[in-house]
Amino acid sequence: MVAARRRWGRRERALLCCVLLSAWEAAWGQLRYSVPEEMPKGSFVGDVAKDLALQMPTIRDRGVRLIDRGRTQYLSLHGKRGHLVTAERIDREQLCRLVEKCVLRCEVIVEGEMQVYGIEVEITDINDNNPSFREAKKELKISENTSPDSRFPLSEADDPDVGRNSLLSYELSGDNHFSLAVQAGPGGNQRPELVLAKALDREEAAFHELVLRASDGGEPSRTGTMRIRVAVLDVNDNAPVFSQAEYAVRVPEDVPVGSTLVTVTAADADDGLYGDVKYSLKKAMGMASEIFHLDSEMGSIALLQSLDFEEGDSYELEVQAHDGGGLFDMAKVGITVTDVNDNAPEITVSSKLSEISEDALSGTVVALLHVQDRDSGDNGEVRCSIDESLPFRLEKSFEDYYRVVISRELDREEVSEYNVTVRAWDGGSPSLRSSAVLSLWVLDVNDNAPVFAEARYSARVAENNAAGALVLTVRAWDADWGQNARVRYRLSEGRVRDAPLSSYVSVQAETGALYALRSFDYEEVREVGLWVRAEDGGSPALSSNVSVRLVIVDENDNAPQVLYPPPAAAAGAGAVWSGVELAPRSSEPGALVAKVVAVDADAGQNAWLSYELAKATEPGLFRVGLHSGEVRTARFLLARDAARQSLVVVVKDHGRPALSATATLTVVLAESVGELLWELGSAAAAPGEPAGSLTRWLVVAVAAVSCLFLAFLLLLLALRLRRWRRSQLLPPGSGALRGVPASHFVGIDGVRAFLHSYSHEVSLTADSRKSQLRFSDGSCCDTLPARPPPDEPVPLLGEDPACARPADPSAAPQAQPNTDWRFSQTQRPGTSGSQNGEEGGAWPNNQFDTEMLQAMILASANEAADGNSTLGGGTGTMGLSARYGPQFTLQHVPDYRQNVYIPGSTATLTNAAGKRDAKSAGSSGGNKKKSGKKEKK
């Protein structure tokens, strides 16, 4: 009873030790299981999840993988239960031949925790193989004189099973001449031997049939048999003898197939048949019989298959030499395979991350690698490395496992993808190398704010721009990626002239295009400063600002504004006094009379002003400063100069196109303020008269001038007809009329020039008490005196001045006009189309005739010039439109100029009507007509 209790205590202690050993191995990452061979696929091996204390959610979520490094995967891990099961049917004899303990090794990797656990599964043997002999039949030749108790070795049976399932015993049956003896070999194996129990007699029996049976110790026991036939021979007294009892050879594993590794030799002293030695393999361990070939005649052992040190490093053979008489000798051959560095290191990526955030901490594991070399010794010693320039390093994890971890901070903006090359090399000579590449994407973190292409932006915008016009485009780039790099633009808050900035400009959120929402006016806003913000799409969003300066460029959109003299509408009731200046008749040339003051709301060149005299009663009497606007006298004032001078000054800017304004000045030529007041009073009394009375007087004056003009034209026609008649009656060379003075024929050019000089633009309305009298452009009022001197008589048409005036010896003779004097381009009578710069003409050389015609028209013209309150008419009509309609102008007066020949003179009055009519339609719209020039022949 006490002994039983002691045995039970010893069992409990052994079981406790086993449990503690298993727990210790699990804690250090090593699990051991055992399973019998030949189990069906899917058989349970062990509960890995329970032994490693892994929860089921961990298996599903974090990912648990089984890695088997063998060529065939025999084990697998059940993904839902965490059980280790068989993946294939396992044959221990095929997997672990000649190995006493068959162990499968694999690893379990928990990817979420980056942990590796080793598993060893021992494959236990079952009795699934029968003992077998290399030869099913064997023939022995024994001499009849062989003494009893002689022993003859037999072939051993081979059983791949191990332990008690391996070969256990031999049995011999069939004949009483022989018995069986079993000897123990050096390795503990049993060697059967045939023992001659009694002498043979060839004459009694030439052959003996025997059966050798081998049995193993399994349950149930398995057996294998070999048939032995013994032939009784005549006497052979010398057996073959090997030169060496044991042969040992070392060959490298890369020796070529077919090479002879070793040659065994044996000698026999007999002659003839008994001296002929043959060689045979009696025993070959494992796969040696399939790898090596023994030449039976020569005794050479050759290589049939390639050697692999990793599969087998040594082989042992037993060679038998026998002669023709049945005598033999045994020798052992040991072949050792040496390792050659023929296997490069193998790098296997067990687990890795394909992408990682750029803000990952140093030490974060990104990959788990397994590195091994199938060679041995220095050839199998492996070292690994990673390029030092990369932000990663290698760390030893478990046995042949390495971890790739982050060694320093990552920056996606510098490197967005890493191809990490892990290099491994062994210690062989020469060294073999291998590598593996890990691709790793760096995920972006919003750590970069948008950056504008320029530090500041500026643009010039012309005023009066169209609303919605593109001003400029701002650009910003974000070094991040994806949504973090998507940039949107918006305006910062601001105000312009007490109005929100958003009412002036807007920015397109996606493109950064800046648009003007309204038309800018340089006179109101000359510069707009604003800030544009660029914001990325990260969370939280990052932004940056840039200043934008919009400079409004001035355009010439404002005409000059005359400040002095003020316009008539602004003068109001004091219009009579508006723009009236006093000029003493004693003023010298260059005396300051007045100054026109004007401003322009534009800027720069558009605001540069220039002044010029556009129209004047006496064109040569005054001049205007080009840049100052000062009105000064151009010459001495004469008694014949009109007391009231009307000046029209044009003010122009220098824009393109130029804009202009006009200012009207009335200059009164008077020596005292009293004369000035009298002149202004006479001008102010006219508006008090009834409008209808003034209109009638104007019509009468215009009718009188028209009648006088028609009568003068008829007279010219009569003179022309008379000359033509005389040319028909008198011979061509007759000089009957040569004595008639040329002054008796007055040309129409003088009258038209006079009428042109007093051509006015008069605006009249029937019920208005105000009128505006304005001299037209290009007036030639300086070509003739305004009225004839009072001391000269008015001659009648057709009289000779010599008959009209009594002879006065004291009077100085009238000077002849200078025929070389010419009018300037703007002073010549006639239309603009008839002014040819190459033509020349002179006025009539009789001053008396000219003054006579002027006196006839002067009264009506002065009435038209002084009636500035209620007179009406169109531009250049001299009041004719009030009677004959607004379409009537001086252009409707017939032009009767022809090629008039003046008797007694070589001059001819040339009609330029054809040229004038052809060009008047293309003129600038004026209603004034100018007479043609005279051509001197």
Residue 694 is predicted with a pLDDT of 65
Contacts of 638 (CB under 8 A, 6+ apart): none
Residue 288 is predicted with a pLDDT of 82
109-162 pLDDT per residue, tens = 887 778 888 889 988 888 888 888 888 898 888 888 888 988 988 888 888 888
Q: What is the distance, to the nearest Å, from the Cα of residue 804 to the centroid of all Cα atoms in its chain?
A: 100
Residue 901: pLDDT over 70: no
Residue 319 is predicted with a pLDDT of 93
214-268 pLDDT per residue, tens = 888 888 888 999 999 998 876 777 789 999 999 999 999 889 999 999 999 999 8
Length of the chain: 937
Q: Work out the mean pLDDT of the chain and round it to a whole number.
A: 75
**Strand pairing category for 266-267 and 241-242:** antiparallel
Q: What is the mean pLDDT of residues 155-180?
A: 84
Written as six digits, the tokens of 769 are 């008490």
Separation of alpha carbons 737 and 729, rounded Å: 13
- Select the more confidently predicted residue: 803 or 168: 168
Separation of alpha carbons 575 and 565, rounded Å: 11
37-57 pLDDT per residue, tens = 888 988 898 988 888 877 777
706-758 pLDDT per residue, tens = 999 999 999 999 999 988 888 877 554 444 444 444 343 333 344 343 334 33
In the chain, pLDDT over 90 holds for what percent of residues? 28
Determine which of 42-56, 446-460, 823-837 has the lowest per-residue pLDDT on average.
Answer: 823-837
Residue 2: pLDDT over 80: no
- Select the more confidently predicted residue: 700 or 544: 544
Separation of alpha carbons 764 and 775, rounded Å: 15
Residue 50 is predicted with a pLDDT of 85
- Select the more confidently predicted residue: 491 or 813: 491
Residue 159 is predicted with a pLDDT of 81
**What is 428-465 written as a DSSP string?**
SSSPPEEEEEEEEEEEP-S----EESSSEEEEEEETTP
190-214 pLDDT per residue, tens = 889 999 998 888 778 888 999 999 8
Distance between start and end Cα atoms, the chain? 178
Written as six digits, the tokens of 390 are 């990369």
- Which band of pLDDT confidence, cut at 50, 70 and 90, is reported for residue 299? very high
Residue 803 is predicted with a pLDDT of 34
**CA triple 245-247-252, angle to 5 deg:** 170
79-106 pLDDT per residue, tens = 677 888 888 888 888 888 767 788 888 8
In the chain, pLDDT over 70 holds for what percent of residues? 70
Question: E strands, 286-327, where?
Answer: 292-294, 300-303, 314-322
Residue 692 is predicted with a pLDDT of 54
Determine which of 22-26, 395-399, 612-616, 832-836 has the lowest per-residue pLDDT on average.
Answer: 832-836
Separation of alpha carbons 588 and 591, rounded Å: 6
Q: Pick the closest to residue 315 from 340, 338, 337, 296 (CA basis).
A: 337
Q: What is the mean pLDDT of residues 476-495?
A: 91
Task: Give the DSSP H or E segment for 179.
Answer: strand 178-184
- Select the more confidently predicted residue: 659 or 695: 659
Q: Are 555 and 462 in contact (CB under 8 A)?
A: yes
658 HSE (CA, 13 A, CB side): 12
Residue 779: pLDDT over 90: no
Contacts of 296 (CB under 8 A, 6+ apart): 278, 279, 280
Residue 766 is predicted with a pLDDT of 36
The DSSP output letter for 313 is S
The amino acid occupying position 53 is A
With b meaning 16 or more CB within 10 Å and e meaning fewer, what string describes 788-826? Answer: beeeeeebeeeeebeeeeeeeeeeeeeeeeeeeeebeee
Q: What is the mean pLDDT of residues 922-934?
A: 36
**CA triple 104-77-37, angle to 5 deg:** 40
Separation of alpha carbons 395 and 405, rounded Å: 7
Residue 611 is predicted with a pLDDT of 94
Residue 927: pLDDT over 70: no
- Select the more confidently predicted residue: 692 or 107: 107
Q: Three-class SS string for 356-389?
A: EECCCCCCCEEEEEEEECCCCHHHHCEEEEECCC
Separation of alpha carbons 3 and 327, rounded Å: 60
Residue 679 is predicted with a pLDDT of 66
Over its C-alpha atoms, the chain yields an Rg (Å, rounded) of 70
Spell out the alpha helix ranges (H) of 586-690. Answer: 673-685
Q: Are 689 and 869 in contact (CB under 8 A)?
A: yes
Q: What is the mean pLDDT of residues 769-795?
A: 39
Q: What is the mean pLDDT of residues 279-292?
A: 83
What strands, in cross-sheet order, belong to the sheet with 278-284? 246-252, 328-338, 314-322, 278-284
Residue 238 is predicted with a pLDDT of 79
Separation of alpha carbons 182 and 193, rounded Å: 6
**What is 98-144 written as a DSSP string?**
T-SSEEEEEEEEETTTTEEEEEEEEEE--S----EES-SEEEEEEET
**Strand pairing category for 660-669 and 580-583:** parallel
pTM of the model: 0.46
Determine which of 57-61, 151-155, 298-302, 831-835 has the lowest per-residue pLDDT on average.
Answer: 831-835
Residue 693 is predicted with a pLDDT of 60
Residue 571: pLDDT over 80: no
Residue 566: pLDDT over 60: yes
Residue 169: pLDDT over 80: yes
Residue 87 is predicted with a pLDDT of 86
- Which band of pLDDT confidence, cut at 50, 70 and 90, is reported for residue 864? very low
Q: What is the mean pLDDT of residues 279-304?
A: 87
